[in-house]
Amino acid sequence: MKKLVTLLLTLALVLTLVCSACAEDKPLKIMLSNAYYTAPYCAAYDPSAEATAKELGMEITILDGEGNQQKQLEHANLAIAEGYDGFLYFPADVDGALPVIEALNESGIAWVGVNAYTGDKIDEVGMKYYVGPDAASHGHAMAAAIKEMFPDGCSLVGIEGTAGHMQTIEINKALAEDLDEKYVWLDRQDCNFQAELGMTKMTAMLDAYGVSSQGGKIDVIVSHDGGMLTGVMSALEAAGLQAGDVPIIAMGSNQVLYDAMADGWLSACSTQDPVAEAKLAVETLYAVIQGTATPGWTKLPTPVAYPDTKDEFNWF
The DSSP code sequence of 22-41 is HHHHSPEEEEEEETTTTSHH
4 in any annotated domain: no
17 and 107 belong to one structural domain: yes
pLDDT tens figures, 98-144: 999 999 999 999 999 998 777 778 888 999 999 998 889 999 999 99
Range of the domain at 13: 9-134+274-302
Cα–Cα nearest to 232, from 215, 246, 216: 246
Q: Which long-range contacts (CB under 8 A, 24 or more apart) does 303-307 make?
A: 303/141, 303/270, 303/271, 304/141, 304/142, 304/144, 304/145, 304/268, 304/269, 304/270, 304/271, 305/261, 305/268, 305/269, 305/271, 306/261, 306/267, 306/268, 306/269, 307/261, 307/262, 307/264, 307/266, 307/267
33 and 181 belong to one structural domain: no
314 in any annotated domain: no
75 in any annotated domain: yes
Q: In one letter, which amino acid is 125?
A: V
2 in any annotated domain: no
172 and 256 belong to one structural domain: yes
Output the pLDDT for position 38: 86
53 and 179 belong to one structural domain: no
Number of domain units in the chain = 2
pLDDT tens figures, 278-311: 999 999 999 999 999 999 999 999 999 999 999 9
170 and 246 belong to one structural domain: yes
First CA to last CA across the chain, in angstroms? 71
Is 313 in a helix, a strand, or coil? coil
49 and 96 belong to one structural domain: yes
86 and 56 belong to one structural domain: yes
259 and 288 belong to one structural domain: no
Helix or strand holding residue 308 (H, E): none
Report the mean per-residue pLDDT for the chain: 91
Distances from the Cα of 14 to the Cαs of 1, 8, 233, in angstroms? 20, 10, 71
CATH code for the domain in which residue 107 is found = 3.40.50.2300
127 and 238 belong to one structural domain: no
| Number of residues in the chain | 316
278 and 266 belong to one structural domain: no
309 in any annotated domain: no
316 in any annotated domain: no
Give the whole-angstrom CA distance, residue 154 versus residue 105: 49
313 in any annotated domain: no
Q: Is 3 exposed, middle or buried (0-12, 13-18, 19+ CB in 10 A)?
A: exposed
97 and 207 belong to one structural domain: no
pLDDT tens figures, 213-262: 999 999 999 999 999 999 999 999 999 999 999 999 999 999 999 999 99
pLDDT confidence band for 92 (50 / 70 / 90) = confident
112 and 13 belong to one structural domain: yes
- Return all residues near 122 (Cβ < 8 A) that are at least 6 apart: 113, 128, 130, 296, 297
pLDDT (mean) for 259-269:
98
Burial 13-34 (b: 16+ CB within 10 A, else e): eeeeeeeeeeeeeeebbbbbbb
Helix or strand holding residue 78 (H, E): helix 69-81
307 in any annotated domain: no
Output the pLDDT for position 131: 96
Please, which residues bridge with residue 297 across strands? 130
Output the pLDDT for position 129: 96
Q: Are strands 58-64 and 154-160 parallel, antiparallel or unpaired?
A: unpaired
Output the pLDDT for position 122: 85
Cα–Cα nearest to 160, from 218, 222, 108, 249: 222
pLDDT tens figures, 160-182: 998 887 789 999 999 999 999 99
- Asked if pLDDT for residue 5 goes beyond 50, the answer is no
Cα within 13 Å of Cα(221), Cβ side = 34
Output the pLDDT for position 123: 85
Q: Which residue has the higher pLDDT, 186 or 11?
A: 186
Q: Is 259 exposed, middle or buried (0-12, 13-18, 19+ CB in 10 A)?
A: middle
pTM of structure: 0.80
Helix or strand holding residue 111 (H, E): strand 110-114
Q: Helix-strand-coil percent breakdown of the chain, rounded to 5?
A: 50, 20, 30
**Packing angle of the helix pair 226-238, 195-209 (nearest 10 deg):** 40
